[in-house]
Chain A
């Protein structure tokens, strides 16, 4: 159905790669984060003429800072605030940084939590 590739890159090369695809005319489609048992995966997806490519970065923890790409693609600021608020990924230099107030979730970093039994009230 589609042409799509997922290429694993290092965190250090992220900004250079993103600048390269911007120069080539690719459109930023989305950024997403996936929590796996041993790590987090970040995927930066781009489209050009219906061809789809993603850069994948593996993060061992949420402490390692990830550079923001909102200086290259402004629209990235929404995705970066989202992955910060839902997964706790530290993203540095976001063009518009909500500092954790982008999503008003009851649980902090809700998508990076193991499920806990819900406390019930008997009032």
Chain B
């Protein structure tokens, strides 16, 4: 057996925009074990629910993450709406779906850019983020914000989108679809990219299930599991099939996300075709009571909002289980046996969002 060395990876590292630390146990250049360490920026936002009333907390929930902010707010609202037995109007459900998918597109483009940057393909990084800017422009035009949408509210949504604007969005997305296709071809066909991603960091189907992987990490390992299949918001009316790859390596995870970009554009188009005029919010009276686990599919995977209330304006407990938290254990598994030089790509491959994990 070679001599073992422990190398710290993070919390500050060029590929990490946020702090996570790994103690990498190496034999020569091979990783034999990785021990994670998080908690550098734990904010205790769950505890804040005891001080903010259940309506105000929507703003806090949106600020848990700067990438999937809307879906955090949405899932929180879903939990409270279930406790209060509020039926959300159909148009609001479609608008929620549209903004969720715009979030997914910009998040996946952000990830593609960061990954390209991770293996030193700077022009690809720039191109990914250039397209992401177009998506952020659409988000800004429809919500007023680029990062924090402020559109979700208990009982519906705060803003409507005019039919003319919706048609304009669809036209724009069709143009961006071509750009995304070109981008996808580089990620999936370029020899240098394939060299860094194919056969690297394989997560088997059995391990993906046993270790609790979620999102593209799970679907790239051959498991057809996507919370959108449960039909929340307007997904039940749209018709939806999860995108699944079977190789379980970095390339498969990349492929799932690229294919999901096209799927998200399709979902938005279907929403625009199907949605009818109508009210966008239901009246909210009384206070929540009971307990409920709301689930939705963020770009990184399943997010859980557990809410418990006793009929006052403050919730007793709010617990948020984010996809990054669930994907840490699978990450440790794929790091075993990899080369030290592949660690940055493998860490990026779970699309880590530490502000989510450190809610």
Contacts and interface: CB of A to CB of B under 8 A. Distances in A.
A73 B317 CA distance: 25
Contacts of A115: 50
Interface of B: 35, 37-40, 42, 44, 46-47, 50, 78, 82, 209-212, 227, 229-232, 291-293, 295, 302, 304, 306, 308, 316-317, 319, 321, 325-326, 328-329
Nearest to A36: B316
A11 interface: no
Given A1-B82, A32-B321, A50-B230, A45 B210 contact: no
B306 A32 contact: yes
Contact residues of B: prevailing secondary structure: mixed
Interface stretch (A13-21, A59-67, A98-106): A98-106
Nearest to A45: B293
Contacts of B308: 34
B42 A54 contact: no
Interface string A69-82: 00001110110000
Contacts of B319: 30, 32, 34
A73 B212 contact: yes
Contacts of A30: 304, 306, 319, 321, 326
28 contacts: A1-B78, A1-B82, A1-B231, A6-B291, A29-B212, A29-B302, A30-B306, A30-B326, A32-B306, A32-B321, A34-B308, A34-B317, A35-B317, A50-B230, A52-B293, A73-B212, A74-B329, A75-B326, A75-B329, A78-B325, A85-B39, A96-B35, A103-B39, A104-B40, A104-B42, A110-B47, A111-B46, A115-B50
A104 B316 contact: no
A89 interface: no
A113 B67 CA distance: 31
Contacts of A103: 38-39, 42
B293, B295, B308, B317, most chain A CB atoms within 10 A: B293
A104 B329 contact: no
B305 to A, nearest CB: 11
Contacts of A57: none
Given A36-B316, A74-B211, A78-B328, 12 more contacts: A2-B295, A27-B209, A29-B321, A32-B317, A32-B319, A32-B321, A34-B308, A35-B317, A73-B210, A78-B329, A98-B37, A102-B38
A25 B38 CA distance: 29
Contacts of B40: 104
Contacts of A91: none
Nearest to A105: B42
Contacts of A43: 306
A102 B229 CA distance: 34
B231 to A, nearest CB: 7
Residue with the highest number of chain A CB atoms closer than 10 Å, among B78, B231, B232, B317: B317
Nearest to B218: A27
A75 B324 CA distance: 12
Contacts of A54: 293
Interface in A29-60: 29-30, 32, 34-36, 43, 45, 50, 52, 54
Contact of A27 (B38, B212, B321, B325): B212
Contacts of B317: 32, 34-35
A112 to B, nearest CB: 10
B350 to A, nearest CB: 13
Nearest to A25: B209
B106 to A, nearest CB: 26
B295 A52 contact: yes
B186 to A, nearest CB: 34
Given A34-B317, A45-B293, A110-B47, A75 B39 contact: no
A58 to B, nearest CB: 13
B303 to A, nearest CB: 10
